[in-house]
Amino acid sequence: MRHDERGAVPVAIIVGVVIVAIIVVILVATTQGRDVTPPSQVPGAENACFTYCIGVVEFQCGDNELMGACFGVWDCDEEIGVHECR
């Protein structure tokens, strides 16, 4: 490893930590003020909910319960990820 390549590793680690910190701040900011109880969100369906995704984490609309991993960004209004409410 050349001398100038060794400096790139700490920079990559710092950039990764900053990106993770930004994602956490966005998650906290967007989950504030949402409803506590998930409503039935599909007309005529019992106990059906949608999800929202912020980057790599997917949450249930209404109570912000962690649903798992996702890739992308969408909100509850987009009616994606219909599932039985937990």
pLDDT reported for residue 85: 79
Q: Which of 83, 7, 21 is CA-nearest to residue 55?
A: 21
pLDDT reported for residue 19: 86
Separation CA 39–CA 41 (nearest Å): 6
pLDDT digit string (tens) for 35-81? 544 455 555 556 778 899 888 889 998 888 888 888 888 888 888 88
| Confidence (pTM) | 0.51
Q: Which of 47, 50, 42, 51 is CA-nearest to residue 69?
A: 51
